[in-house]
Amino acid sequence: RLGAGGMGQVYVARSDRGRTVAVKLVRPELAGQDEFRERFRQEVAAARRVGGRWTAPVLDADTEAAVPWVATGYVAGPTLARIIEHDHGPLPERSVRVLAAGLAHALQDIHTAGLVHRDLKPSNVLVTVDGPRVIDFGIARALETLTEGGLTRAGALVGSPGFMSPEQVRGDRVTAAADVFCLGSVLAYACTGALPFAVAGSGSHAMMFRIAQEEPDLTGIPEGLSTLVRDCLHKDPRQRPTPLQVVERTQILGDDDRENWLPGGLVAQLGRRAGELLEIGAEVDAGPTHCPPVWPGDPALDPPDVPPEWSTTPAGPDMVPLRRPRLSLGLAAAALAVALGAGASIVALMTGEEDTPAGVVPSGFLGTWNTSTDNGIDNSTGHPTRQLTIRQGKVGEGILTLTADGRTAGDTYHCVSVAALAERPTSGTLLRIAASRVTVAEPSSACAPEPASTLTLRENGELERATEGNGEKLTYGKES
């Protein structure tokens, strides 16, 4: 057992193929509520589409079990909260730049899948030698549906007081820009070890008031990062940078820039713990035994009464003690070399495979595309806008996210839908996209799935989207 939180308990387990995973079991009182379970189904389905380069990928789930569960890739690393509070203290500027780029990449992947994280905080960021990983994306949103037991539809428990956006504090509509605000708070914390809206001696309610009404305290943040952090913490969501703009402003260009991104002493500590991980557990044929958590979590997530024994839950997947790997000294040394920055991935070592799938989408399509205001859309009702985000992927995978915002009959609407690649492209300028599925509908009556469509790259650099069935054609310009 790794710990417990607002949704349930988390265990480290190993699949029958030897893959190490983290398994989250939903609390029975939540599973018994139909509205929660339906939202949980939707969020798990959406979270499956998020890639594993910067996150812990969703591997399997059973949303219909008596005790619903979801399994994600296990990331061998401590939380950023533990790094700052216990293991090292505030990180140097270069480390925070790589942290910012990695978290922004993760948010871009999450948003492209039609999700908003809503709870980006240091305890949801895992630190490895080849960059940060974001966990618990999307799933927490299921808690918003509850109205019993002190939870409200405004999402009282969706978000943490020190790392919430003004929209969350006020109960306004939460968009992807809220995650960027939370990113700014995380970066400020990584630089200084302090919350940008906290004041000594004041409580969480006072801090949330300052988040909504006052400017952040950026004392101690290096000059090269202070402007970026301040822009992320802008009260107006429209004035915050996008995740891709955050990546550009960090000036982290590629894998070479991420090498040795952590201070030497911290890297050595990660190496020692990676070596310990290889020795955890019992012999192959041993029964359940005393196994301490692989990586100590945060006190808020690990209550004092957490039992040391491994548990078995009949309604969930089979969970067994981690078995001692039968490794040669050479392989153990190689694992230590990985932890010390030899260029391989700890995640790949622990899961047995890389989580970045090959894709077939031509590079010219990748990125974010926006319509112009005179692009054949009826602007008389409030200048609606459409945005396409196209990511790498294979046939059958969700590669396109369509976001539509506008006003009709006096009410605003916000719709997000995701569509899969219908067939392997035969040229670099044409893609066929399957019918979409709505993932966000506010209000639900204003949003409907989009029919199948064809995307064409024009010679002038524009993207044309032709919708099958209704003959609609719209042109999109690439977002700079």
Task: Give me the residues paired with residue 389 across strands.
Answer: 368, 401
Taken in order 38, 24, 68, 393, the sign of the CA dihedral is positive
For residue 355, indicate whether it is catalytic.
Answer: no
Kindly report the backbone phi and psi dihedral angles of residue 58, in degrees, each rounded to the nearest multiple of 5, phi listed first. -75, 125
Name the percent of the chain in helix, strand, coil, to the closest 5: 35, 20, 45
DSSP annotation string for 3-46: EE-SSEEEEEEE-TTS-EEEEEEEPHHHHT-HHHHHHHHHHHHH
Distances (CA, A) of 243 to 47, 176, 184, 349: 18, 9, 11, 28
Annotated catalytic residue: which of 34, 60, 119, 231?
A: 119
For residues 303 and 293, give the distance between their C-alpha atoms in angstroms, rounded to a whole number: 13
Beta pairing partners, 4: 9
172 C-beta neighbours (distance < 10 Å), count: 14
Q: In 3D, which of 279, 100, 118 has the Cα closest to residue 190?
A: 100
User: Would you call 302 helix, strand, or coil by DSSP?
Assistant: coil
CA distance 33 to 27: 11
One-letter amino acid of 435? A
Cα 131 to Cα 110: distance, rounded to the nearest angstrom:
17
Q: How far is CA 75 from the centre of its chain?
A: 13
Name every residue whose Cβ is closer than 8 Å to that of residue 442 and which is 6 or more positions away in sequence. 173, 413, 414, 415
> Would you give the DSSP letter of residue 451?
P
Handedness of CA 293, 128, 313, 279 (dihedral sign): negative
What residues are annotated to the active site? 119
